[in-house]
Amino acid sequence: MSGQGRAVIGPFRRASGGRAAERLLLLLAWLIVAALALFVFFAGLLAPYDPIILNIGQRLHPPALDHLFGTDEGGRDIFSRVVYGTRYSLGVSVAIVFAAAVFGVAYGAISGMASRRVDDVMMRTVDLFFGFPALVLAMAVAAAIGRGLDSVALSLAVIWWPGYARLVRGEVLRLRERPHVEAARALGVSSLTLLRRHIIPFVLQEVNVRVTTDIGYALVAVTALSFLGLGAESPTPEWGLLIRDSRPYFGSAWWYLVFPGIMIMLTATAFSIIGDDLAGRRRRSGAP
């Protein structure tokens, strides 16, 4: 093949290889999410041991066939605790994001359709939340409410909804000027019906992308607050708490810290990859 032919075909090969790698990463991400769903709904079938009952005779055993992720200071199987912990870490993260999305979508939609004065007041309220460092505000709220996953969920939902409100408000302001919305308004369609039929369905496409990506970020935040002592309490098998409890044993039992950390990393990465793919599909579709 001539040098000119290689120069033409080379970029196509690289592009094809890049797309194949992206598809492989996306497949792996979906497989990870599927495995996490199995952990959430079938933990009792997949976990070989009880995650709470102590077994001091098996204390700090390294990974082996009978204990894939090793054991902790109480002799509990870390793999079983990671499996059960999915319900707490991922379950709370999903609840935070969906609660924030529901409230933020409603708030942003009302602000976008309201008069300029009402919109200004509502968005200045949103700006107040953005004026504080997010994690610091979440820590303050969680500390005020009291330790526990419930307080972590509430504190993170409080700092998460303004992002959705701002996103939705911007989308509503953009979409309300679209021809199909203007035509419906000219026909006397009410603002509520405009939102429900002609605006919100398009807004939700953008929100779905944000929700998928935010689940991974919320997971990191939940586990971070548990690591700082504001979340789950022992012996709850929550991933952040597992890492917190593993600190005194890192030099002698590396697996205690490493495997819960890997689970957090893989989960956050998987949701980020899926969110990026959804965003790319939306851009390619030319959605309004």
What letter does residue 71 receive in the DSSP assignment? B
Q: What is the pLDDT of residues 101-156, one digit of tens each?
A: 999 999 999 998 888 899 899 999 999 888 888 888 888 888 888 888 889 999 99
Residues 6 or more apart whose CB falls under 8 angstroms from that of 26 comprise: 273, 274, 277
Kindly state the tokens that stand for 85: 């912990």
Q: Which of 3-12, 208-217, 224-233 has the lowest mean pLDDT?
A: 3-12
Identify the pLDDT of residue 11. 52
Q: Which of 90-94, 185-189, 203-207 has the lowest mean pLDDT?
A: 185-189
Question: What is the distance between the alpha carbons of residues 138 and 158, in angstroms, rounded to a whole number?
Answer: 8
Q: Rounded mean pLDDT of 85-100? A: 95
Identify the pLDDT of residue 287. 58
**pLDDT beyond 70 at 288:** no
Q: What is the pLDDT of residues 131-140, one digit of tens each?
A: 888 888 888 8
Give phi and psi for 190, each to the nearest 5: -70, 160
Kindly state the tokens that stand for 270: 């998987």
Summary mean pLDDT of the chain: 87
Question: What is the distance between the alpha carbons of residues 240 and 89, in angstroms, rounded to a whole number?
Answer: 8
Q: Rounded mean pLDDT of 181-193? A: 75
Into how many domains does the chain fold? 1
Q: Rounded mean pLDDT of 195-218? A: 88
Query: What b/e string do you get for 218-252 counting C-beta neighbours within 10 Å, with b at 16 or more?
Result: bbbbbbbbbbeebbbeebbbbbbbbbbbbeebeee
What CATH code is carried by the domain that includes residue 114?
1.10.3720.10
DSSP 155-205: HHHHHHHHHHHHHHHHHHHHHTTSHHHHHHHHTT--HHHIIIIIIHHHHHH
**Of the candidates 183, 172, 140, 184, the residue with the CA atom closest to the CA atom of residue 158:** 140
Instruction: Say if CB 105 and CB 61 are below 8 A apart.
Output: no
Q: What is the pLDDT of residues 43-92, one digit of tens each?
A: 999 999 999 999 999 999 999 999 999 999 999 999 999 999 999 999 99
Q: Rounded mean pLDDT of 20-24? A: 88
Kindly state the tokens that stand for 283: 């851009």
Residue 252: strand, helix, or coil: coil
Q: In which band, very low, low, confident or very high, does the pLDDT at 180 lie, cut at 50, 70 and 90? A: confident
Identify the pLDDT of residue 266. 96
Q: What is the pLDDT of residues 219-236, one digit of tens each?
A: 999 999 999 888 888 889
Q: Rounded mean pLDDT of 272-283? A: 87
**Of the candidates 100, 103, 132, the residue with the CA atom closest to the CA atom of residue 215:** 100
Cis amide prior to 51 (ω within 30 degrees): no
Question: What is the distance between the alpha carbons of residues 11 and 144, in angstroms, rounded to a whole number?
Answer: 57
Model pTM above 0.95: no
**pLDDT beyond 80 at 238:** yes
Domain that includes residue 118, residue range: 3-285
Identify the pLDDT of residue 174. 87
